Amino acid sequence: MTLIDLGELSAPSDPQPPRRRPRRGTSRWPVALMALVVLVVLTAAAPPAARVHATVPAGLPADLFLTEEHIFTVNPAPRVTDGSQELTAYARPRRATVTPQPLAALWRVPVPPGHRFFRVESVADGVLFALVPSQSTGHPGETMLLDAATGQQRWRAVGFGTPDASGRVLLQTMALDESTTLRSVELATGRELWSRTMPPSLIELHQRDGVIDALVLSTNAGDVEVLDAATGRLRHRLPAVDTTGYQQVSVVDDLLVMVRNSRTVTAYDLAGLVPRWQATVPLADFVTRCGALLCARANRGGTHVLDPATGNVRWSTSEVVDLLWVTQERAIAQLDGHGLVTLDAATGEVVTEYGPWDTVASYERVPRLLGIRLVPETGAVLARLDPARSQPRRIDVLPDVTGGCQSRYDLIACRQQNGSFGLWQLPD
Determine contact, residues 335/321, Cβ cutoff 8 Å.
yes
Element (H, E) at 265: strand 264-269
Q: What share of the chain is helix, strand, coil (3-state, %, to 5)?
A: 5, 55, 45
Q: Which residue, 409, 407, 411, 406, is CA-closest to 424?
A: 411
Determine contact, residues 374/380, Cβ cutoff 8 Å.
yes
State residue 139's pLDDT score: 66
Fold of 114-240: Lipocalin (2.40.128)
Residues 66 and 44: their CA atoms lie apart, in Å, by 29
Q: Which residue, 225, 212, 214, 135, is CA-closest to 180?
A: 225
Rg (CA), the chain: 23
- 161-213 pLDDT, tens digit per residue, is 999 999 999 999 866 567 889 999 999 999 999 999 988 888 999 999 999 99
The rounded percent of the chain whose pLDDT value lies above 70 is 85
Residue ranges per domain, the chain? Answer: 114-240
Q: Which residue, 191, 217, 193, 213, is CA-closest to 203?
A: 217
Q: Do the strands 180-186 and 168-173 form a parallel or antiparallel pair, or are they unpaired?
A: antiparallel
Element (H, E) at 162: strand 160-163
Specify the pTM: 0.82
The angle at the Cα of 373, spanning 39 to 65, to the nearest 5 degrees, equals: 120
Per DSSP (E only), the strands in 7-159 are 53-56, 63-66, 70-76, 85-91, 101-102, 105-111, 115-123, 126-133, 142-147, 153-158
- 65-108 pLDDT, tens digit per residue, is 999 999 999 998 888 877 788 999 999 999 999 999 999 999 99
Phi, psi (rounded to 5 degrees) for 281 = -125, 160
- 207-248 pLDDT, tens digit per residue, is 999 999 999 999 888 899 999 999 999 999 998 877 667 789
Q: Which residue, 342, 340, 350, 410, is CA-closest to 373?
A: 340
Q: What is the mean pLDDT of residues 323-348?
A: 87
- Secondary structure of 278-339 as H, E, C letters: EEECCCCCEEEEECCEEEEECCCCCEEEECCCCCCEEEEECCCEEEEEECCCEEEEEECCCE
Average pLDDT value for the chain: 84
Element (H, E) at 31: helix 29-45
Q: DSSP states of 89-122 as a string?
A: EEEPP-S-BSSPEEPPEEEEEEE-TTEEEEEEEE
